[in-house]
A and B are shown apart, each in its own frame.
Chain A
Amino acid sequence: MYDFNLKRILHIDLANYSYFVEERDMGEWIGGTGIATRLLSENMKKDVDPLSEGNVIVFAVGPFTPAYPFASKTVAMFKSPLTGNLGESHAGGRSATAIANAGYDAIVIKGASSKPIYVVIENEKVHFRDARVLWGIEDSLITGRIIAEREIGRGLRTIMRIGGAGEKLIRFAGVMTETYRHFGRTGLGAVFGSKKLKALVVIGRGTKKPSDAKGYREVYSKIFEIATTSDAMKKYYLIGTPVNIAPLNELRALPTRNLESAYFEKAEEISGEKFAEFNLARRIACNHCPTACIHIAALRIPYEDEPYFHKTIMISYDYELIYSLGSMLGVGDRDSLLKLMHRVELYGMDAMSTGVCLAWATEALKKGLISKNDTLIPLEFGNAEAYVKAIDNLYLQPNEFYKTLAQGVEMAARKYGGEEFALAFGGNEMPGYHTGHGGYIGYLIGLRHSHLDNAGYSIDQKAKEELTPEELVDKLVEEESWRQILSSLVVCFFARGVYTPEIVVEAFKPLGIEMSEDELKETGRKIYSEKLKLKKELGFDLSKIRIPKRIFEVETFKGKLDRKYIENALKYYEQRYYEIV
C-alpha cells in the first residue's frame, strides 16, 4: 500500500548537473506549502543573495495530487528577489499532476549552471539539456513550443519556462507553465534566470493505490458531485474572475490610474460581461479540474500596411490583469488591454507588478520626479500604445530608469521619490482591491503580501459592522492559517468552497491518513508559524514595512481609511503573532 506520509524528494544540483532522491516521513507537514517551508529552510543559507547561486527553489505538491480534483497547484518557494525575503507562488496547469505522476512530492533545485540549460525530469531520470540556442528567445510561448516539439510526453507533461523577463532578471519575472498559468508573484522567473535555467520539463506516468478502494471511489465521486452541481464553483466557470470588475467598481473599490481614484468610468467596457460577450473564444482547465476557469480571448489584429492580412492571437484574461493593466493604467478599451496582457505574457512578467510599476511611473512623470529622458516615452494614463513600448523597455532596459523600474516599484520610488504613491506592500505590488482596512492589513501581514493569503478584501465586503483592529487581525490570521492547509494540499483556492475541513478529513481516510478536523486546523496554525519564522529569518522586518500615503486619500465604500486603525492592527499583530515565533 502506498504511504502518503512518506515523501519522495528529488534534489537537483545545477552546479554539477547531479541529482538524487531522498525519501522521508514528512506527513506532519502534509505537503505543498508545509513541506516546502521545511525544505527551503533546511537547504538554503538564510542570508543568501536571491539572485546568486546560493538561492534554492522548492516545488512541492500534496497528498491529494493527483488523487482528487482541484489538487492541481504546485507551490514554489524560494528567496524572493522582489521582496528580499520569502518568495512563494502557486501555479496550476499540468505542473502539479506531472510532478506527482513522475513520482515526487517535491523537487529541490540548488546551484547555478554556468551555461544556459533546461532540465527534463522523466520519472526516475533527470536529463540536463543544452539551452544555449534557446537563450535570448524573449517570447515564452515560442520557447514552450520548441521544447514541446523536442521532448516526449505530450498530454502528460508540464513545461515550465521563462521568457525574456526572467533572463533579464526582472525582479517580478514569472515562470510560465502550459502557456496560460504562471508562477507569477515574487519573482521566481528571475531566480530561474540567475541559475541559467530556461525551462523545467516534468513528465510522468506514475501510479499509486489507495488503502481503501471503495472509499476512494466514493469520496472522489462526492467531491466531483459537489464541484459540478453545487454553486461552489459557479463564479469561476461562467464569466470567470472578471465578473468582479463591475461590482467592485460600483463599490468604489477598483484601483484606477495609480489609485487616484477607486472608480473607473470605463469599467463597463472592460467588465467580465463584455469580455465574455465579445472576446471569449475558449475555456480551458488546469489538469484534473472540472471547472475550467481559464478564459481565453481571441484578438484579431489587421496588418495596417498589408490589406487582407490578419493575425489572431489568443490571450488569457483574469480579474487581476484587467485591473493592473486596465483600470490602474486608465486603459478602457478591450483590444488595447488584450495587447498589453499579451505583451506581459510573452516576456513572462507578473502582470500586477508590471501594471503598478507603470502606473507609478506615469504619475511620477506627471509630477516631474522623473522626466521624458527617463521614460523615453510620453507615459500617460489611457495611452495603451505607450505602455506597450514601456513594457518592451522594461525588458530591453535601455537606461538607468528602466533598469531600476525592473527591480520593482519599491526600489524605483526609493531612488526617484514618490513613495507616497508607490503602491507596494512588503515590496510586492498591490492587487486590485481598495476595499477597506481588511484588504490593506491583509497585504501588509500576509506572508506573501498577496490578497490570496488571507482574503482581507473579502472580509471587508462581508463584514456587516466594523470590526476592531484586533478582531480583524485575528480573522485574517485564522483565514491565512486555514489556507496553509489548502496550499499544503495544493488545492486551488478557488475550490475552497468544496474542500471544507469535513471533506478534507473524509478525503484523507481512503489514502490512509488519519487526522481530525481539530488536528487539521492545528496543523494549519503550525505551518503558518513555521512559515512566518522562516520569513523573519530570511530578513523580513515588520517594523520597516511602508504604508503608502495614497491609500488614505481615496474613499472606500466605508469612507476614508484610518491610519491609526492600521497602526493599532499592526501593533496587535506584532505582539500576538509576529513576536512569538
Chain B
Amino acid sequence: MAKILTIKDIEKCVGCALCMYACSRKSAKNPYIGYDHSGILAISLSGFERGATIIVCRACLEPPCSQVCPTNALVPRKGGGVVYKEKLCIGCNNCIEACTIGAIFKRQDGKVALCIHCGYCVDFCPHDVLEYKEV
C-alpha cells in the first residue's frame, strides 16, 4: 500500500521546524544541513501564540504541478502526490505557480523542494503533529 504524509493535529505544532530539518536530511547519501532542501514549511499565524500552520503537499490525485511541468520532472505518484526527478528539472518554476497551497519551494540553485511522501520527517516530530499513513 502507498503511504502519504498527513497532518494529524496542527494544534500541537510548537513551530520547532524539526520536520523541515529532517526533510533536508532525508537522503541517506546526500543529507543537507539547513532548510533549503526542505519541502515542508512550518509557519505561525502571525505569531505562534495564535498557532501554527504546516505547508506541505496534500498528495493530490491529479497534481496540478505535474500537469504544468514541461520536462516530466514531476510524475504522479501512486497513492497521490508526485515523484520528483530532480535531474530533469530545469527550474522553470511553473509548478510553484500551479500549486494552490504554495507547497513547492524554490531552492537557491533554482530547482525546487517539495514533499515526496517518504515519511522521514514523522519520526522527528517531537509532538505527534505529523502522521505517515496508508491510503
Residues of A within 8 A of B35 (CB): 66, 101, 156, 205, 207
A-B contact count (CB 8 A): 113
B126 touches A290 (CB 8 A): yes
A-side contacts of B43, CB under 8 Å? 154-155
Given known A100-B34, A207-B37, A207-B108, contact A292–B51 (CB-CB < 8 A): no
Are A210 and B33 in contact (CB-based, < 8 A)? yes
Q: When chains A and B are docked, how far (Å) is the Cα of A2 from the Cα of B33?
A: 10
| Residue interface mask A189-207, B partner, CB < 8 A = 1 | 0000000000000001111
Q: Do A205 and B51 touch across chains, with their CB atoms under 8 A apart?
A: no
List A residues 270-312 near B (Cβ within 8 Å): 281-292, 294, 296
Q: Are B46 and A148 in contact (CB under 8 A)?
A: yes
B28 within 8 A of A: yes
B42 CB → nearest A CB, Å? 6
A4, closest chain B residue (CB): B33
A208 in contact with B29 (CB, 8 Å): no
**Chain B: interface residue total (CB-CB under 8 A):** 35
A511: nearest residue on chain B (CB-CB)?
Answer: B33
- The residue on B at minimum CB distance from A101 is B34
Known: A290-B126, A292-B14. A208 touches B33 (CB 8 A): yes
Question: Measured between C-beta atoms, what is the minimum distance from B28 to chain A in Å?
Answer: 7
Residue A52 at the chain B interface, CB threshold 8 Å: no
From known contacts A207-B32, A213-B30, infer whether A288 and B41 are also in contact, taking CB-CB under 8 Å. no
**CB <8 Å contact, A290 and B32:** no
Taking CB atoms, residues of chain A closer than 8 Å to B36 are: 101, 205-207
Chain B 45-82 interface residues, beta-carbon cutoff 8 Å to A: 46-51, 55
Q: Which residues of B contact A67 (CB under 8 A)?
A: 33
**Which residue from A123, A220, A286, A289 sits with its C-beta under 8 Å from B108?**
A123
- Interface pair A288/B108, CB less than 8 Å apart: no
Closest 10 pairs between A and B when the two form their complex, measured CB to CB: A314-B49, A290-B126, A207-B36, A285-B16, A155-B43, A292-B14, A285-B14, A208-B33, A284-B48, A207-B34
Residues of B bordering A, CB below 8 Å: 14-18, 21, 24-25, 28-37, 41-44, 46-51, 55, 105, 107-108, 124, 126-127
Chain A interface (Cβ within 8 Å of chain B)?
Answer: 2, 66-67, 69, 97, 100-101, 123, 141, 144-145, 148, 154-156, 178-180, 204-210, 213-214, 216-217, 220, 224, 228, 281-292, 294, 296, 314
Q: Other than A66-B21, A155-B55, A285-B15, give 12 A-B pairs with Cβ distance below 8 A.
A: A66-B34, A69-B18, A155-B42, A155-B43, A178-B47, A205-B35, A207-B35, A207-B108, A209-B30, A209-B31, A220-B25, A228-B126
Enumerate 8 A-B pairs (CB-CB under 8 Å) in ascending A order: A66-B21, A66-B35, A207-B107, A213-B31, A214-B28, A228-B126, A282-B49, A314-B47
